Amino acid sequence: MKIKKQGFTLVEIMIVVAIIGLLAAIGIPSILGAYSTSQKKAKARNVAEVEKAKGVLTLPTSSGLPGAMELDDTTLDLSTGAAYSNLMSALSITDASELTVGADAVTIGTLATKASYPNM
């Protein structure tokens, strides 16, 4: 009578672990690169949206667009007051913290300076 052993041998388990390690070594850098790329694209998209909203702020009020104000002062501080409120309205958000990507918060700047992120 022949006794049949059940289970895997040590060599079989080592081969499977080696294959999984190889696949992980190939896949993980690709995933991390995609994550980094997506964060950069999100930052660029947010900056473009803020710049478009700033353009809306400088339109004449007769244009009928939300947040439009006649502004002559290109150094107007957009981080407080009615200008900030109008900018958030033009962006359809309630607070600039909604434009945070990862740990980086957007700097809105003035009408004369471009919005930016610290690590962009």
* H-assigned helices in the chain: 10-57, 81-91
Mean pLDDT of 57-71: 59
| pTM of the complete model | 0.64
Distance from C-alpha of 40 to C-alpha of 35, rounded to nearest angstrom: 9
Ranges of each domain in the chain: 10-99
Count of CA atoms in the C-beta half-sphere (13 A) of 2: 3
Q: Which residues pair with 77 in a beta bridge?
A: 110
Q: Render pLDDT for 20-33 as a digit per residue (tens, 0 to 9).
A: 999 999 999 999 89
pLDDT of residue 70: 55
**Encoded tokens for 57:** 């702020």
| Chain centroid, CA 64 distance in Å | 30
Q: What tens digit of pLDDT does each residue of 31-53 get? A: 989 988 999 999 999 999 988 88
pLDDT for res 28: 92
Residue 41 confidence (pLDDT): 93
In Å, how far from its chain's centre is CA 25? 27
